[in-house]
């Protein structure tokens, strides 16, 4: 299980490592390349290796996929697995009252604004638990029931840490202005009547996991973070050097289980921030993507098109997770025709993916030990593929510059599971503009012209900024051929 520390990231600061993980229960998978020979032989061997490897790593292998089929379920038929991890220390929310409300907070006298021009944004109507509420709205746009979980690391969180949410339902919650925490989705859950443990229906007699992904030690009301792999929405509402900024991100550092979007609900003092700078989405499940496009209007309006990742299709996004990192990989065909793993085997729509760090715990994957340095720790295959399908998501420890959203304090949030559209590509197109706004530079005339200019957005998004084809590890047969050629080159010299 991956446990993260406070994700505080200073604006514009490079080399901020994602918190140190604590991994258990998985065996590392290593991939080594042959070496040897004199310099001339080395060059010839390397050329042979690259020529063969090129044929195996250019794009995702073709899959059997019906482009007209919309996803009907996220429910996997795999059984709920009893967890084997150790219980992490409890994260106790602070009991101190919220700080004095400043001019950038939502005061109790200011109504939570309706954002009718922003699709998908909800207006909370329940009574807030404290005098300076920040709305945190959870929406389920998935075709199945999910069980959102909420973890609080600082401040006052919602009155509930987990609940059931049917398709199409929205739950309005509130947090304090200094809240720091995370939201994730749990799938395939079965709880006992009082929600204190799993139901006997899952075959574990009331012990173990109650959910297939994101489980909180069998409890409906989460007191700890969810079991990996989970897609996370992370928030620090009182960030920055002077605590006058909000940091948030979609994190795949713990893996991926559900498509997720974060939609900003403006406050009275932040309505001027263009929605195409704030509303980020990660869709990495087959069947949920709209057709390829460089920009879109979901969760925004016609004035401010959102940059979209424009290269992926439903067939390609269905195979981004490396075979050895799938939580529930498809079984080998009974007739044994296909070698395993092989991407000609159809993957399920619901295909949870462990991150490399969550699966192996290796320092090079988790950026720990001697790899705790942005110049030393490089993205894994998982991180590269995750960044390809979700450009705005955190993919590994030192990915802060292309994954952290920073805006002035104020406003609330809607976390949407299975959002419409495509993954966003905001920070690669408008990262500098967002940093200018967050640092107090305001919305200049130049910024306003750029963020409203659809031609500019789509032109910038066509310059290779959204990522291209995903890389795949070559199979064992390929390495065997390469090794034989390498040995021939060495002995020939």
- The answer to which of 163-177, 213-227, 329-343, 375-389 has the lowest mean pLDDT is 329-343
List the domain range (segments joined by +) for residue 368: 63-492
pLDDT at 223: 87
Q: How confident is the model at residue 68 (pLDDT cuts 50, 70, 90)?
A: very low
Give the residue with greater pLDDT, 104 vs 195.
Answer: 195
Total count of domains within the chain: 1
408-437 confidence digits (pLDDT tens): 998 999 999 999 999 999 999 999 999 999
202 part of a folded domain: yes
Any domain includes 1: no
Task: Judge whether residue 171 has pLDDT over 50.
Answer: yes
pLDDT digits (tens, 9 = 90+) for 304-337: 999 999 999 999 999 999 999 999 988 766 555 5
pLDDT band at 2; cut points 50, 70, 90: very low
Round the average pLDDT of the chain to a whole number and report it: 74
Q: Evaluate whether residue 318 is within a structural domain.
A: yes
Q: Is residue 4 part of a domain?
A: no
Per-residue pLDDT tens digits for 71-85: 545 654 443 433 333
Does residue 312 form part of some domain? yes
Report if residue 281 sits inside a domain: yes
Cα–Cα distance, 139 to 173 (Å, whole number): 11
Residue 380 has pLDDT above 70, yes or no: yes
pLDDT of residue 400: 83
* In a domain? residue 363: yes
pLDDT at 378 over 80: yes
On whether residue 34 sits in a domain, the answer given is no
Place of tokens 């084997």: 84
pLDDT digits (tens, 9 = 90+) for 146-163: 999 999 999 999 999 999
CATH classification of the domain holding 160: 2.60.110.10
Beta bridge partners of 184: 149
């Amino acid at each position: 299980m991956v446990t993260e520390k406070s994700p505080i990231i200073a604006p514009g600061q490079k080399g901020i490592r994602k918190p140190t993980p604590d991994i258990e229960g998985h065996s590392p998978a290593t991939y080594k390349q042959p070496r040897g020979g004199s310099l001339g032989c080395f060059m010839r061997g390397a050329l042979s290796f690259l020529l063969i490897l090129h044929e195996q790593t250019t794009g995702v292998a073709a899959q059997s996929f019906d482009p007209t089929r919309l996803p009907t379920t996220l429910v996997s038929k795999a059984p709920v697995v009893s967890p084997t991890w150790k219980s992490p220390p409890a994260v106790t929310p602070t009991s101190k009252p919220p700080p004095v409300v400043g001019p950038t907070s939502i005061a109790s006298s200011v109504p939570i604004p309706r954002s009718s021009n922003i699709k998908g944004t909800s207006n909370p109507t329940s009574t807030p638990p404290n005098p300076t509420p920040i709305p945190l709205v959870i929406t389920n746009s998935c075709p199945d029931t999910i069980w959102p979980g909420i973890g609080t690391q600082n401040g006052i969180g919602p009155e509930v840490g987990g609940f059931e949410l049917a398709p199409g339902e929205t739950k309005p919650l509130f947090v304090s202005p200094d809240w720091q925490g995370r939201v994730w989705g749990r799938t395939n859950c079965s709880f006992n009547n009082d929600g204190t443990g799993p139901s006997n229906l899952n075959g574990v007699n009331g012990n173990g996991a109650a959910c297939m992904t994101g489980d909180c030690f069998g409890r409906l009301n989460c007191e700890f973070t969810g079991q990996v792999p989970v897609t996370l929405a992370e928030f620090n509402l009182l960030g920055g050097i002077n605590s006058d900024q909000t940091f948030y991100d979609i994190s795949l550092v713990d893996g991926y289980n559900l498509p997720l979007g974060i939609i900003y609900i403006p406050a009275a003092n932040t309505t001027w921030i263009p929605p195409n700078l704030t509303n980020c989405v990660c869709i990495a499940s087959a069947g949920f993507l709209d057709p390829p496009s460089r920009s879109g209007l979901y969760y925004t309006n016609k004035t401010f098109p959102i940059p979209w990742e424009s290269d992926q299709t439903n067939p390609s996004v269905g195979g981004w997770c490396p075979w050895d990192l799938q939580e529930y990989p498809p079984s080998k065909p009974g007739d044994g025709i296909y070698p395993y793993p092989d991407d000609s085997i159809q993957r399920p729509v619901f295909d949870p993916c462990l991150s490399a760090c969550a699966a192996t715990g290796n320092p090079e994957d988790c950026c720990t030990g001697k790899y705790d340095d942005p110049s030393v720790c490089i993205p894994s295959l998982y991180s590269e593929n995750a960044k390809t399908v979700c450009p705005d998501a955190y993919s590994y420890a030192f990915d802060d510059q292309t994954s952290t959203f920073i805006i002035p304090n104020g406003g609330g949030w809607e976390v949407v599971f299975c959002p419409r559209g495509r993954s966003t590509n905001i920070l690669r197109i408008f990262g500098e503009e967002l940093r200018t706004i967050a640092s107090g530079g305001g919305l200049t005339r130049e910024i306003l012209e750029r963020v409203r200019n659809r031609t500019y957005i789509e032109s910038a998004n066509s310059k290779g900024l959204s990522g291209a084809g995903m890389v795949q590890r070559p199979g064992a047969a390929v390495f065997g051929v390469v090794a034989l050629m390498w040995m021939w080159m060495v002995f020939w010299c």
